[in-house]
Amino acid sequence: MAPYMKYGYSYGPRVVITAKAADTGTIDDGDIVVLDAVGGAAGSGYVKKWSAATDAVVGAALESVDTAPSADGEDTVQVVLSLPGTVFVYPASGITQAACFQCCDIDGSQSIDFDADTYQNAWIVEVDEDADLAYVMFKGPFTDVGASGTIDYGVA
């Protein structure tokens, strides 16, 4: 069997939206995308590639943004939303069945750290030990992940 090469959405509810990309960089197909600049009086309304454990996950990109936009919203990206029941798959080198049904941390824009549980922003629901894959559900921005306080949905 050929090695699994596509990360991102795997199965479950699939709600796809067109999101406006932030001017913070490129996005690759399968990247975990997050809210850009959440906090203060308003969230930015744009998405970017995951960059920090405290980022609120929106979902996973279904396509790439190959060139960083020169301004927020100049480009768009199709995203599968991180909703309850939506499962995503990412590499997790050395993962074992013991990690299944444990909360863990996102480790990169396309990886899971099953040994870390500081932020608990991913829940492992299935493990493929042979392929080093973790199937996870993410705590999305509709859930306070407890890492950085209250999620701000915009101007009140």
109-149 pLDDT, tens digit per residue, is 999 999 999 989 999 999 999 999 999 999 866 554 444 44
Q: Provide the token pair at 14.
A: 């699939």
Residue 6 has pLDDT above 70, yes or no: yes
Rounded to two decimals, what is the model's pTM? 0.83
| Tally of CA atoms within 13 A in the half-sphere of 85 that contains its CB | 4
| Tally of CA atoms within 13 A in the half-sphere of 22 that contains its CB | 17
